Amino acid sequence: MTRTFMGIPCLVLALSLSGCESLPSQSSLQDPLEIRLEELESRLAALERILASGSLIDLTVQLDELQRQTAGLRGSVESLGHSTSSIQDRQRDLYGDLDDRIQYLERNMQQPTRQSIPNLGPLAGALLVPGGNDRVNYEAAFELLKEQRFAAAGSGFQQFLAAFPNSQLADNAQYWLAESYYVTDQFDVARREFLLVINRYPRSRKIPDALLKLGYSNYELDRWSDARSALQLVRDDHDESTAARLAVQRLQRMTDEGH
């Protein structure tokens, strides 16, 4: 009997110890909100360390500086675009003004006071300004042209070309020599002289105008096919020039006239 009672306390003690081992630990009973709060506090501490180190501030400053530079560049590009547009508008105005002046000069030239210009040959005559350089003699001949003294101007340009064949003004002189023939209705001679501008000086800035006047000269000679070919070259190859616009107008006129 005594053994039986003595065994019962031992059994109770064993069961008590076993129950203690199966109870959950303190950490497993922690509130999930507390766990989340600890994670947030940890992340906040990490951000505070970054701020304390100054690295995030430096990045912010650099970003602000880049944004400022980008805004400045954008303003410069817009300003450049505006300047380019203004220059293009000014160029169109200048071309239009030049075109008006040329047409005015030609209208004034086409008067009964015309005088035929003799073809003196490459070596005939003397310079308008003996002993003067190419520019002085070119300007002297051009002054005669503006004064509508076409015979004297034509002779002056012929003498210029004979004396200064390699001058940088030679292509201009050849063009104005041809123009002197054109405004005095010597269209066949003018046609040949304009062809010399095109063939001798293929890089001259006078090429569009020479082609235009070649077309005009052929038009006056009723050489319709040659006139159309020259005018189409101006329109297609020099489409940005004032000469191209005038060529288009003459081509339309030819079409309207049935040529």
Condensed to tens digits (0 to 9), the pLDDT of residues 23-57 reads 444 445 556 766 767 777 777 777 667 666 655 56
What is the distance between the alpha carbons of residues 92 and 123, in angstroms, rounded to a whole number? Answer: 41
Mean pLDDT of the chain: 77
Domain covering 134-257: architecture: Alpha Horseshoe (1.25)
Per-residue confidence at 120, pLDDT binned at 50, 70, 90?
very low
Q: What is the pTM of this model?
A: 0.56
- Position with higher pLDDT, 121 vs 182: 182
| All structural domains of the chain with their residue ranges | 54-109, 134-257
Report whether pLDDT(200) > 60. yes
Query: DSSP states of 29-91 as a string?
Result: GS-HHHHHHHHHHHHHHHHHHHHHHTHHHHHHHHHHHHHHHHHHHHHHHHHHHHHHHHHHHHH
